[in-house]
Amino acid sequence: MSKTKEDDKLLTLALERYKRARDKDADARRERLDDLKFSVLLEQWPAAEKHKRENDPNGARPCLVIDKLNQYVHQVVNDMRQNRPSIKVRGINDSADVEVADVIQGMARHIEDQSRADIAYDWAGELAVRCGLGFFRIKTDYINQESFDQEI
């Protein structure tokens, strides 16, 4: 089989899997988006109901929005900010060296500081509270074009 046919087959398989995952998650994604609109944009009235009330033949009726949710969201998010998660390195057995664990712990702390991981932790926590799904990812980047050295 030629290289092009193998690549086409692989791309076709990847597209099929992507579409299956996207379709499977579509309802949950829509619900998460509704949750964000409800809590961030305060869009708490269904569009049809809001239009009906604003265009009532007897005169426009108000669509009151009283934000009672964000105080609790902020309470949880601020708690998370005060007690941020962080990487903790521990030896897993008796032969583990405490000094090596401390060095690796220092490297992890340096990576967190350099990458401003606190911002990622805060956003992931806030989105987890607001819509039930918060995440961050760890990426590496090459230091320069000629080197294979990477920075996390």
Question: Quick check: helix, strand or coil at residue 141?
Answer: strand
User: Measured between alpha carbons, how far is 42 from 77 in angstroms, rounded to an integer?
Assistant: 18
User: Measured between alpha carbons, how far is 109 from 116 in angstroms, rounded to an integer?
Assistant: 10
Single pTM value for the model: 0.74
For residue 143, what pLDDT is reported?
86
The answer to whether 30 and 125 have CB atoms below 8 angstroms apart is no
The answer to whether 62 and 53 have CB atoms below 8 angstroms apart is yes
Q: How far is CA 130 from CA 44, 67, 69, 72, 110, in A?
A: 14, 14, 10, 10, 30
For residue 14, what pLDDT is reported?
96
* pLDDT averages per 10-residue partition of the chain, 152 residues: 84 96 95 93 90 91 91 95 87 77 90 90 94 90 86 83
User: Measured between alpha carbons, how far is 119 from 136 in angstroms, rounded to an integer?
Assistant: 10
Number of H helices, E strands in the chain: 5, 2
Instruction: Determine phi and psi for 151, rounding to 5 degrees.
Output: -120, 135
User: Measured between alpha carbons, how far is 35 from 27 in angstroms, rounded to an integer?
Assistant: 12
Count of C-beta atoms within a 10 Å radius of residue 125: 20
For residue 101, what pLDDT is reported?
86
